Structure 1
Amino acid sequence: MKVLTDQDLLNLLPPEKAVSAMKEAFSLLWRGEVISPQRTVVTQKGDWWGVMPCKTRYLFTVKVVAVIPGNRERGLPSVNGAVLALSPDTAEPLAVLPGATLTALRTSATSVLSTEIAVGRKVGVLGVIGAGQEAEFHIRMAQGYLSPSRVLVTARKSHVELARRTGAEAVELDTLLREADVIFATTSSTSPVVKGSLLKDGFHVASIGAHTPDARELDDDAIRRARTYIVDSLEAVSRESGDYIQPARSGALGAKVLELGEILVKGIRVERPSIFKSVGVAVQDNLATYYAIKELV
């Protein structure tokens, strides 16, 4: 059984390979070729834990992932965990992978994929909201796969240092919202940071935060302006995301709702302004793991 390190994953899943893995993952999901029971979630004292099993023809995987806000004070990523990969035929243990890095790689690759299908690979100005691990992975994945003319980054703190490490520009939130053509929202905020009244015409926003029913990254103005609302899994966002549940109930969500896999399989043209909302699904971990280890085992 292989035990992979964070650096192993970075070497094994460069942007082209990571995005290809997500294209296959969501195509398999849409075609019904994935067995993925609802994840088990435990929330205690502000910490969120999830157990995510998944079986494809390639692997059986189980990811234990947690969002631990207190990890920031410990110098650790707020998202942490591990992935166990087994043979789908024999249950032979094949690999253990670091969950935080795998999650950041597959999540950023999926946001980039949503951008490719909505905008293309030349995206103009990219704005990233947040300064944690997901924000940095989103910047680096975009720089390796897309062709942004500029990258803007903002957060409550730490974004100046993130900008220095990645070659981005540290700006205020309202400046980013006004100037960015594509926005990646990667925050732990429970109230909206993406304000629709400030966004450009033809925007694309990928939102990966606000993964509980009472949390929002997107305000109602942004959702009202969208012509296409893309989701990783309609079942998952209907159960978990306040950015979907609340505007769907209030009537603010009038856009065409499409799953990412449906767009890929059917070749549907995405009309902008567009939003991609992701809460994360287990098939992402399964295929990212498979693409990482298939030449090692």
Structure 2
Amino acid sequence: MIGLSSKDLNELLKAEIAVSAVKEAFKLHYQKKILQPQRLVMTIKGNWWGLMPSSTDYSFVTKIVNVIPKNKDKGLPSVQGIVILMSPDTGEPLAIMDGTTLTAIRTAAASILSTEIVMKTRSIGNLGIIGAGTEAYYHAKLSLEYFKIQKLLVSARKSHFELAKSMGGEAVDLDTLLKNSDVIFSTTSSSTPVVLGRYLKDTFHVASIGAHTPDAREIDDETIVKIRSYLVDSLEAVSKESGDYIIPSQKGLLKNKVIKEIGEIIDKGLEVERPSIFKTVGISAEDNITAYVAYQEAIKKGIGINVSI
């Protein structure tokens, strides 16, 4: 068994490889070629914890992950996790890897994939990132590798000046970001909307990775009213877990919208109209394929340390 650190995963999972991995994951998920039971969710000391298992013909993966917002005050990532990869044939452990970094990379890759599908190009105009934590960092890092971007705008309650400077972007207030961005990645732990429709351009794409509980929202009703297409990673998951889908649905705001899983769009080569939203709560299929790809790359390149148990 090998151990893959955060540094290892950063070296192994460049943007092109990570996006390709999640694309395959979503396609296999839609084709029902990944066994993926609903994740076990627990609240521990007021924080969200999840256990996410899945299997394919060549990989069994389980991830233990949590979201602890107060970690930011301690200088720690708000998302922590560990991933275990095992052989479905022999049952032997193949790899253990940093789940925090794997989650951040595969989540950013999913947002990037949704953007490429909707924009139909890698030249995407102005990219706005809301948030300044680990997810915001990886969304910026991988986007700059993958896309041609005119201007990177970053807004958050704090720390966005540092993130913007490190990425060659511009730190701005939220209203400015919303008014000037063609694509918006919302990566917050906010329970109230930060994507406000009254400020948005006529044509936009929003990828939202926060608001993963039924009563939390990153996207307001006005944004929902404006969109033509609502893309999701898993319709079953978002309809049970995310207030950004549950509440607008209960209000009848999703009537006459095109609602599709991203895997179906990939599998069938469907066209997607903007304005659009991609809502992801994260599915274990992404972890499975991304972890397996990282393991294959590590073996090929001789990266990682041998671990005995």
Alignment-derived partner of residue 22 in structure 1: 22
| Counterpart amino acid of residue 293 in structure 1 | Y
- Displacement of 1:234 after TM fit? 0.0
- Displacement of 1:164 after TM fit? 1.1
| Counterpart amino acid of residue 247 in structure 2 | Q
Q: Could you tell me whether the CA contact under 8 Å between 1:46 and 1:69 is conserved in 2?
A: no
| Counterpart amino acid of residue 55 in structure 1 | S
| Counterpart amino acid of residue 86 in structure 1 | M
Runs (5+) with no aligned partner, structure 1: none
| Counterpart amino acid of residue 250 in structure 1 | K
CA RMSD of aligned residues (A): 0.8
**SS of alignment partner, residue 154 of structure 2:** strand
Size of the aligned set, in residue pairs, is 297
- Superposition misfits of 4+ residues, deviation over 6 angstroms: none
- Displacement of 1:74 after TM fit? 1.8
TM-score when normalising by structure 2: 0.95
1:246 and 2:253 correspond: no
**SS of alignment partner, residue 123 of structure 2:** coil
Q: Percent identity?
A: 57
**SS of alignment partner, residue 123 of structure 1:** strand
Alignment-derived partner of residue 228 in structure 1: 229
- Looking at structure 2, the residues matched to 278 and 246 of structure 1 have their Cα atoms a distance apart, in angstroms, of 15
- Looking at structure 2, the residues matched to 57 and 224 of structure 1 have their Cα atoms a distance apart, in angstroms, of 41
- Displacement of 1:44 after TM fit? 2.7
- The 5 A counterparts of 1:158-177 are 158-177=159-178
- Displacement of 1:249 after TM fit? 0.5
- The 5 A counterparts of 1:33-52 are 33-52=33-52
- Looking at structure 1, the residues matched to 297 and 259 of structure 2 have their Cα atoms a distance apart, in angstroms, of 37
- The 5 A counterparts of 1:146-165 are 146-165=147-166
Q: Could you tell me whether the CA contact under 8 Å between 2:12 and 2:297 is conserved in 1?
A: no
| Counterpart amino acid of residue 178 in structure 2 | L
- Looking at structure 2, the residues matched to 217 and 296 of structure 1 have their Cα atoms a distance apart, in angstroms, of 36
Q: Could you tell me whether the CA contact under 8 Å between 1:184 and 1:207 is conserved in 2?
A: yes
Alignment-derived partner of residue 305 in structure 2: none
- Displacement of 1:70 after TM fit? 2.0
Runs (5+) with no aligned partner, structure 2: 300-309
Q: Deviations over 1:3-27 (max 9, x none)?
A: 0110100111000000000110001
| Counterpart amino acid of residue 269 in structure 2 | G
Q: Deviations over 1:106-162 (max 9, x none)?
A: 000000000000012110000000000000100011100111111000001110011
Q: Deviations over 1:188-227 (max 9, x none)?
A: 0000000111111110000000000000000001011110
**SS of alignment partner, residue 202 of structure 2:** coil
Q: Could you tell me whether the CA contact under 8 Å between 2:12 and 2:298 is conserved in 1?
A: no
TM-score when normalising by structure 1: 0.99
- Displacement of 1:75 after TM fit? 1.4
| Counterpart amino acid of residue 154 in structure 1 | S
1:80 and 2:74 correspond: no
- Looking at structure 1, the residues matched to 179 and 236 of structure 2 have their Cα atoms a distance apart, in angstroms, of 32
**SS of alignment partner, residue 250 of structure 2:** helix
1:101 and 2:101 correspond: yes
Alignment-derived partner of residue 285 in structure 1: 287
| Counterpart amino acid of residue 33 in structure 1 | K
Alignment-derived partner of residue 264 in structure 2: 262
